[in-house]
A = this chain, B = another copy of it.
Amino acid sequence: MSRAMFRLTRDGAVARLTLDRPEARNAIAAAGWAELAHAVGEAGDARLLIVSGAGAAFCAGADLADFPVFREDEAARIRFRVEMRAALDRLRDLPVPTIAHIEGPCYGAGVALAMACDLRIATADARFAITPAKIGISYPQEDVHRLVALVGPGQAARLLFTAAAIGAEEALRIGLVELVGGVAPLVAAILANDGASLAALKRAIALGRSDAGQDWRFDALIGGEEAARRLEALRRK
């Protein structure tokens, strides 16, 4: 890649990660995944991260221009899988809320990127398709798992087996996005809440049924300064 395609900018407490390759509808080249992991690492001290695409697209998926190389070079295709996984999981593991703000096309690995965020909010013109079967490849196991967690095994099969594109309203109905509309009210609602609470709740969603550590976090927060301050503020209203 001649230049970086991920731009991390800050607006106060909010970090924004922009896929900035609009001439290719923000398709991600093989070299882009390490760049994404690096950009996510820079966002750690923000209170919230928004992921969105430049131009009128979220992400067209992995850049197909790299695929002839994958065919020739086994090391390159292993590196592709490993670096994509590392970047997506680094995003998933950020301790602050992450929002994918999806306009226009969101295809293939672009859906995996959106699913690595906690929340997905789409504009009315967003379109989603998961297309590996169309080009004779597979989809990473962890991302299939995340898809099943969001939409269930039946809709996962439908999306993966047909590779069909669906619109924002259908994505909302089946659970691939949580909201359709503008991102500003969502960001404002989250920023009004307590950061330590948000971190504990994000951890709780990621965990399974039982985790003793979460009990002690629950006790610590309920006995803390911030809870006292917020209760007092509520009482005065």
A218 near B138 (CB under 8 angstroms)?
yes
**With A201-B132, A221-B138 known to touch, is A118 a contact of B157 (CB < 8 Å)?**
yes
Kindly provide the distance from the CB of A102 to the nearest chain B CB, expressed in whole angstroms: 13
**With A142-B210, A202-B157 known to touch, is A227 a contact of B135 (CB < 8 Å)?**
yes
- Interface residues in A120-159 by Cβ distance below 8 A to B read 120, 132-142, 144-145, 148-158
Whole-angstrom CA separation of A106 from B169 in the bound complex: 27
Whole-angstrom CA separation of A56 from B163 in the bound complex: 30
Residues of chain A at the chain B interface (Cβ within 8 Å): 64, 67-68, 70-71, 74, 77-78, 80-81, 97, 118-120, 132-142, 144-145, 148-158, 160-164, 173-175, 177-179, 186, 189-190, 192-194, 196-198, 200-202, 204-205, 207-211, 214-215, 217-219, 221-224, 226-231, 234-235
| New A-B contacts (7) at CB < 8 Å, excluding given A71-B228, A161-B193, A161-B202 | A119-B161, A135-B194, A136-B229, A137-B222, A144-B205, A153-B205, A158-B179
